[in-house]
Every structure is written in structure tokens, then in C-alpha cells.
């Protein structure tokens, strides 16, 4: 039997110790000869075909070394929940600026960037959102992802570095609440979306919404149709966990009025 050589010599996966990073650590190995793993957290021993380079993305010199010899980047690093501005700034803003400058200096041509549906969290649940609509972030975390999408656009326009920004919804083994019946993205659909973003020949600067084929939709993904992504899973498989009731939330409840859910009221203000 002829063994197929992986398409890439070396891929970098940041945030490899996180929830989605652990999934991609296993599932992305067939795509590359060497998978370089990065996080500030413990990653355990390197397995076959892996390299481990722990560093803080806020350390510019370390990030430049991290990108040496890399073909493409799967950027899933940073803070993924709402928090005070300063740690988000260090990880998601300064860290991303360091990453893209290193991508540019090392001559890397594509980044798959884990953005978030929280860049449009203040859209009401009655509105269908597409990739060209104005950003409406729902907190400091969402703001940092808006910065990431704008930064990646700049590096495409200025230097031709392609990026697919994945506005990921709720990626877990199963929906955890009724809201996630709309925002759910299965692990298998995540992997397929990343694969499509990585292997499509020309992507320019693309924004794709990371959701499975759920019965209710808040987002319109047709402007990323060139990626060829077709979700196979649906939150409907878990519908029995959240039966219909006639107990509607108050009309002025922001967590159910807006697509960002609890994030729209979770954001801390600057401490006095």
C-alpha cells in the first residue's frame, strides 16, 4: 500500500492545551509531517510527529522563533472567555500582533484564526447576520476578536497573507443549554471547517461562521461558500435535553435577547 505524504511539512497549532486545541492536536496530524504545538500551559510529552514549543505569545522574540520553519498556522491560542481587559490585551491583542508580524517575517502565507461569534454578540436573536455586517462585540473578549479580524485583514491587504477567520459558536461534545442549540458546532464539524480553510487553494481574507447544521440559524455563511464546508452534524440530535415550554424569558432579558447570550452582561468594567 502506498503511503500518502502529508501536504504540509510543519503546521503550528497554538492554544494546543485548550479544549479545541486538544481536539485539533489529534485530528490535524494527517495533514502535516510535523505538528508544532504551542501553549503557556503544560502540553505533556511530544508524541510521534509532534514538536512542543511553550512560550507566551506576548513575548515577541519567542514568537518569532516559534514561527521558524512553519508552513501555516492554526491559531487557537489566547483567552477564550470574558475577563478583565489587561490579560485579554496581552494574550489576544499583543499576542496576535506578535504572531502576525512573525508570520510576515517568516514568509508564511496562511493563518486559520479562531475568531468568535462574540464579535457580533449584540445582534438580536431575531436578526440574521452575515460576514459583511458591522461588528457588534459583546465584551472585551469579543472586542479582542474584532481586533484580530481587522489585523488579519491588514496583513492580507498589505502583505498578501491569507487568513480564514472562524467565528466559532459553541464547540462542545453536546449543547449545554438552549442557546447552544443554535450556536452548536460539533468537534467533527470543527475539524472539517479547519480542514477546508487550510486546504482551499485561494481564500484571500475570508470570514466563516463555525456552526453545525442546526435547525435555527442566526448567521448566514454563504460568503464563505468557496471553502466548500458542509456541516454534517446538528444540535437537533440533542433536542430532547431542552423540551419546548411556554415559560418565556422576560422581554428585557439581554442574555436571551442578544446572540451573545450571557456574554452581553458578563463583561467587567475597569476597576476603580
Q: How far is CA 75 from its chain centroid?
A: 8
4, burial (CB in 10 Å: exposed 0-12, middle 13-18, buried 19+): exposed
Q: Which of 69, 78, 68, 66 is nearest to 40 (CA)?
A: 78
Cα separation, 150 vs 182, whole angstroms: 26
Question: Cβ(41)–Cβ(26) under 8 Å?
Answer: no
The verdict on whether 141 is a catalytic residue reads yes
* Bridge partners for 34 per DSSP: 10
Question: Cβ(263)–Cβ(121) under 8 Å?
Answer: yes
Q: Determine which one of 100, 113, 123, 141 is catalytic.
A: 141
Cα separation, 80 vs 24, whole angstroms: 16
Cα separation, 112 vs 115, whole angstroms: 9
**CA 158-207-182 angle, 5° bins:** 160
Residues that are catalytic? 141
Amino acid at each position: 500500500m502506498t503511503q500518502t505524504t502529508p501536504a504540509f511539512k510543519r503546521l503550528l497549532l497554538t492554544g494546543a492545551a485548550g479544549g479545541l486545541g486538544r481536539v485539533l492536536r489529534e485530528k490535524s496530524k494527517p495533514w502535516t509531517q510535523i505538528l508544532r504545538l504551542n501553549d503557556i500551559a503544560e502540553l505533556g510529552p511530544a508524541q510521534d510527529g509532534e514538536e512542543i514549543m511553550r512560550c507566551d505569545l506576548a513575548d515577541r522574540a519567542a514568537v518569532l522563533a516559534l514561527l521558524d520553519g512553519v508552513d501555516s498556522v492554526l491559531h487557537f491560542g489566547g483567552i477564550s472567555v470574558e475577563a478583565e481587559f489587561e490579560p485579554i490585551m496581552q494574550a489576544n491583542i499583543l499576542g496576535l500582533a506578535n504572531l502576525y508580524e512573525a508570520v510576515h517575517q517568516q514568509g508564511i502565507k496562511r493563518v486559520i484564526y479562531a475568531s468568535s461569534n462574540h464579535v457580533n454578540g449584540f445582534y438580536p436573536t431575531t436578526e440574521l447576520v452575515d460576514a459583511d455586517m458591522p461588528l457588534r462585540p459583546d465584551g472585551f473578549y469579543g472586542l479582542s476578536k474584532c481586533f484580530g479580524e481587522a489585523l488579519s485583514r491588514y496583513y492580507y491587504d498589505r502583505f498578501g497573507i491569507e487568513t480564514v477567520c472562524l467565528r466559532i459558536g459553541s464547540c462542545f461534545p453536546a449543547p449545554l443549554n438552549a442557546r447552544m442549540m443554535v450556536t452548536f458546532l460539533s468537534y467533527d464539524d470543527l475539524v472539517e471547517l479547519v480542514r477546508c480553510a487550510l486546504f482551499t487553494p485561494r481564500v484571500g481574507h475570508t470570514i466563516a461562521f463555525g456552526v453545525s447544521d442546526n435547525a435555527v440559524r442566526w448567521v448566514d455563511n454563504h460568503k464563505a461558500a468557496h471553502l466548500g464546508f458542509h456541516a454534517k452534524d446538528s444540535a437537533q440530535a440533542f433536542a430532547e435535553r431542552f423540551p419546548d415550554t411556554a415559560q418565556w424569558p422576560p422581554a428585557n432579558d439581554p442574555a436571551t435577547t442578544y446572540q451573545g447570550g450571557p456574554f452581553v452582561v458578563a463583561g467587567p468594567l475597569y476597576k476603580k
